Amino acid sequence: MAQLPQQLGGDETPPRRRKWLVAARLGALVAVLGLIGWYVAGHADDFRALGNVHWTSLAAALALDALIYVYGAAAIVLTVHVFGTRLGAMEALLAALLTRFGNLLLPLRGGAVARAVYLNRSHGLSYSHFLAGMSAMLLTTLAASLICGLAGLAWIGAATGKTFPSVTWTLAGALVAISLTVVLRPRIGPSQGGGIRGHIQRLLDSYHLVSRHRPSLLGLLAVSGLQILTMAGIYSLLLAAMGKPAGMGMLVLIVALANISTVVPLTPGNVGVYEGVLTLLGPLVGIAATDMLAASLAWRALDTALILVAGPISSHVLTRKALFRSRA
């Protein structure tokens, strides 16, 4: 499918437009990181608690972070299975690591493009089928975030008596709208058109292919939900190690809401934006902004270290595997 690189932000985007998109994303990254650095420098005393975190807590958080890539591998297996492609567990894990590595270092969705090319050359998975699977991943991530957000609100309400009616109705309405896309096939514009409307319609058309396969769709929802719960567990662990414990329900809520920002990342790997959203949401549920930012930065450092080690290895192994299969 020749349009895949353009839809994912690849090489078929007009050169001038691609340069502007890359520059905008890098500019956003610099701006966000600058704001975070400025905030940390101005509240240096509040971040000293990070120095008291024992290495065993960091190791446990790193292990939980590695588990997130296992979920990513499961999501890849579930999506390609719909189209008759079979991936081994280790190969899927390497593909998940490759995707994260590419998205972190390459402009736009470089990791997704790399995974698409690998699956096409090694397993013959068409780009249209890859796009369908990717669309399902994005929309089920959004749906799972809404479900976990509602669950977090219910948890907080039961534990503290506090309710957030406007937020609850907004999340519920969005969840109903996404659920209807499984039953209906909404049309908002021509699928071959340009602009945001055309891209969204292609996303919905592709998602509809996977939505017919209910076991895979439910599996993707479960995997996305586990990812949110695991991230909440990481922050719970790090905050407790800093001497700033926080309720799991509160963390599930803000992680679920922040997770929505990952569907359309504004910076490579959504670096800075994700941490910023968490920092803004933390005080709304009683977690100090400095504590939430410290925990999120600690996670980001652990995750980046993991992917910078595992990413090149996965890229090397999958490249060799793809070349071997193409020669065979």
Query: Would you state the structure tokens that stand for residue 11, as one six-digit string?
Result: 């090489």
| DSSP 8-state symbol, 108 | S
List, for residues 55-72, the tens digit of each pLDDT value: 898 999 999 999 999 999
For residue 52, tell me if it sits in a domain.
no
For residue 15, tell me if it sits in a domain.
no
For residue 94, tell me if it sits in a domain.
yes
Amino acid found at 187: R
322 or 127: which leads in pLDDT: 127
Residue 237 has a pLDDT of 94
Give the mean pLDDT of 188-214: 67
For residue 61, tell me if it sits in a domain.
no
202 or 130: which leads in pLDDT: 130
Residue 144 has a pLDDT of 92
User: Quick check: 240 and 249 in contact, CB under 8 A?
Assistant: no
**Which residues constitute the domain of residue 281?**
70-327
For residue 84, tell me if it sits in a domain.
yes
Residue 220 has a pLDDT of 92
Give the mean pLDDT of 149-170: 84
List, for residues 209-239, the tens digit of each pLDDT value: 777 778 888 899 999 999 999 999 999 999 9
How many domains is the chain built from? 1
For residue 63, tell me if it sits in a domain.
no
Residue partners of 296: CB distance under 8 A and separation at least 6:
235, 274, 275, 278, 279
Residue 9 has a pLDDT of 44
Residue 3 has pLDDT above 50, yes or no: no
For residue 288, tell me if it sits in a domain.
yes
Separation in Å, CA 267 to CA 33, 224, 229: 10, 21, 24
Separation in Å, CA 85 to CA 79, 92, 123: 9, 11, 7
List, for residues 25-84, the tens digit of each pLDDT value: 556 556 655 655 655 555 556 566 677 778 898 999 999 999 999 999 999 999 998 888
For residue 97, tell me if it sits in a domain.
yes
Q: Which of the four pLDDT bands, split at 50, 70 and 90, describes residue 256?
A: very high
Q: Write down the pTM of the prediction.
A: 0.80
Residue 64 has a pLDDT of 96
